[in-house]
Amino acid sequence: MITTKQRAYLRALANEKEPTTQIGKGGLGENGLKTVDAALEAHELVKLTVLETCPEPAKEIMTRLCEALGCEPVQVIGRRLVVYRRASKPENRKIILPR
């Protein structure tokens, strides 16, 4: 579980990022989970866009992502989601969270 100070730090980092993944009319399927999982392992902090054609609301997708992949929710603004998970491989760890 990340603290509010750490969440604020991650939000600041996410402001500079462009969305890496889009979730469309198919919703969050198995392929979408694999894509986000690989992005989390590579980047640790991932920004996603939920398209208007997606049948599920953004908050529900955030909940499903966090449950399925073990990541931390950072923020949901409109149709943009930001999630964080520390990389399992030490060479992929780029983000150092404040205490």
Strands 21-23 and 45-50: parallel
| C-alpha distance from residue 13 to each of 9, 24, 25 (Å) | 6, 25, 28
Residues 16-41 pLDDT 10s: 999 989 999 988 889 999 999 999 99
The percent of residues above 90 in pLDDT, for the chain, comes to 86
CB 83 within 8 A of CB 73: yes
The CATH-assigned architecture of domain 4-87 is 2-Layer Sandwich (3.30)
At 74, is the pLDDT very low, low, confident or very high (cuts 50, 70, 90)?
Answer: very high
Domain spans, the chain: 4-87
| Six-digit token string for 84 | 């964080």
Cα–Cα distance between 52 and 50 in angstroms, integer? Answer: 7
Per-residue pLDDT at 78: 95
Coil vs helix vs strand at 22: strand
